[in-house]
Every structure is written in structure tokens, then in C-alpha cells.
Amino acid sequence: MKRRQFNKLISSVSSGIVISNAYSCSDLKQTNKNGISLAQWSLNKMIKNEKTLNPINFAQKAKELGFSAIEYVSTLYSRELEKMTISELTKNLISNSKDYNIKNLLIMVDQEGDLSSSYSNEILQSVDKHKKWIEMANELGCHSVRVNLNGEDDIEKWKDNSIVGLTKLCEFANNINIIVENHGGNSSNGKALAEVMRNVNLKNCGTLPDFGNFCIKRKKSSYSPIECDIEYDKYQGMRDLMPYAKAVSAKSYDFDEFGEETTIDYKKMMDIVKEFNYTGFLGIEYEGNIISEIEGIKLTKKLIQKYNY
């Protein structure tokens, strides 16, 4: 988008002007079918790079931005866990969420081993590494822990291994859901991940469909989330995964002058969500680089509200 168009768009957001028939937050507060939550990854630059936000204060920041429910990301607490135990961190997060009347929904867990490895000892190690986050989720009052299914490129072996890893983790988790996001590699193959879900067939096993993470193979040397060599059709992928959805990530990267996402047809995505009668929260996960994280969050929220009827 041209800078002039962005300036016009941001000015509209900041002043509360409605963009292209989108309603204001207050207008749809009581009529939205789905609640709107904030995924902590939307603020990852402020936490990791700019260091202008302490991740322990996530609940406070979410409240300031008009949210009542949040989704944590485990890796954003790496520095904090060098200074305190996970038990101390949990107590801090519980205290803050109570202080600001924020509902804790889930924890997105990364970098805790390969649940889909072809080596059984690696699966067991990964299950053990995830346990502390499941216990934390239980104490926080979360309904789910999001995991990744990494460790094997061969799609058939990956499916078999994933069934083993997920089953072991779900059996430990008991009343906490273990949910899998389409998060690159084989997990972004909607049909294959749905097959894994059918075969695990446990009440506390499900998916976290993400509007934008259907890249199976990225372009070489590219770290851009939208530059992809092999991409699964995102709309078919959502239809594959929605029958098992226990949470949904509303991904966004960039916006045009009318407030529409430039890489994802939000109306089409929201129609798919409605098609499967999903009534849970939609978690905003802004990953753009052109505008600030705060403005990206605001625009994504407006876009969800526009089609969330």
C-alpha cells in the first residue's frame, strides 16, 4: 500500500472514523457472535525487539486495548524464566489477569521438542517438556495449550508419529485441551492434520486453525510469513480444520485503504467460521511489518467486527 493510503487509514483508526462500512468497537460489542481475544504474538516486537512491554504486563496492555481475553506465547517469557521459576511467573500472571479482569484462554507453546519425531525417545522428551506448560495453563484457568507437530518430513510417518505424540500428551493433560495449529511444514496440510485428529479421537484433542499459516514450504532464505513455495489452499485448510477447532487465530499482515486484509479474504474466512457453528473466541494475531503492532491490532479487530455478525 502507498504511504498516503496508509496515513489516511491510520488517521481514520486513530480518530474513530468508520472505514468502509466497518462498525466501531462499541457498536458491535453486544452483537458479536464470537468473542475477540488478543494473542500475545501480536505484541512480540514490543516485547522482544523494542523492549517497551514487559510480557508479565500482557493482561494490563490487553485491557488498555479493549480486550477481555488473552492468549499467551511461551517463548515470550524466556528472559523472565531466567530470573524466576515457572511457578513464580504463573503467580504473577494470575495476579495480573485478576487485577484487570482478563480471561486467560490458552498458551501457545513453542520450542519444546518434536512431538512428531520418528524417534520414540524424542517424542517422550517433548511430552515431558510440555508438561510444565500444561500445569501452568491449568493454574491460569486456560482451556487449552497449543502445540506444534514437528520432527518428520515424510507425510505418512509424520501422521503416525503425530498420533503417538498427541495421544501421550492428551492423556497427561486430562482436562486441558491439546490443540494443534497449522504452523508450517506438514501441519499446514489441512487434510493430513484432520486425519491425525480423526485418529487420535480424544475429547481434549483439537485444532487451532489460523487464517494465514498454510505455508508448507517457505522460499529459500525467506523469513517472510507470506513468501511461500508450496502453500495449501487456506480456505480449504480452514474447512479441513474447523470441525476440530477449539480456538481460532485471526491472522493479519497488511491492509488496503478500505481496511481489508490484502492477503486474506476476511469475509470468506468468517463465513467458513460461521459455517461450522464455531462460537469460541477469535484470537487476533497481527504479524505485519508496515504499520505498528498496535495499529495492526486495531485494524484487525475492526475487520473481524465488520464480518462477525
pLDDT in tens, 158-192: 999 999 999 999 999 999 999 999 999 999 999 99
pLDDT in tens, 226-285: 689 999 999 999 999 999 999 999 999 999 999 999 999 999 999 999 999 999 999 999
Q: Which pLDDT belongs to residue 224?
A: 62
For residue 70, which amino acid is it?
Answer: I
- Alpha-carbon span 58 to 262, nearest angstrom: 28
Cβ-based burial of 46 (10 A; exposed 0-12, middle 13-18, buried ≥19): middle
Listed in sequence order, the residues at least 6 apart from 45 whose beta carbon sits closer than 8 Å to its beta carbon are 293
Q: How far apart are the first and last CA of the chain?
A: 28
SS3 252: strand
- Region 62-91: mean pLDDT is 98
Q: Which pLDDT belongs to residue 56?
A: 98
Q: Which pLDDT belongs to residue 110?
A: 98
Q: Which pLDDT belongs to residue 300?
A: 98
pLDDT in tens, 200-230: 999 999 999 999 999 999 877 555 656 899 9
Q: Can you list the alpha helix ranges (DSSP code H) found in the chain? A: 3-15, 25-28, 44, 58-64, 86-99, 120-140, 155-173, 190-200, 234-241, 266-275, 293-307
Phi, psi values for residue 262, rounded to 5°: -85, -15
Q: Where do the domains of the chain lie?
A: 32-307
Tell which residue, 46, 32, 33, 31, has the closest CA to residue 296: 46
pLDDT in tens, 93-134: 999 999 999 999 999 999 999 999 999 999 999 999 999 999
Q: Which pLDDT belongs to residue 109?
A: 98
Topology at the third CATH level for domain 32-307: TIM Barrel (3.20.20)
- Alpha-carbon span 308 to 302, nearest angstrom: 10
Identify the band that residue 92 occupies on the pLDDT scale cut at 50, 70 and 90: very high
- Alpha-carbon span 8 to 258, nearest angstrom: 10
Q: Which pLDDT belongs to residue 134?
A: 98
Q: What is the DSSP string of 142-162?
A: -SEEEE---S--SHHHHHHHH
Q: Which pLDDT belongs to residue 223?
A: 56
Q: What is the pTM of this model?
A: 0.89
pLDDT in tens, 8-38: 444 444 444 333 333 233 333 434 489 999 9
Tell which residue, 99, 132, 128, has the closest CA to residue 114: 128
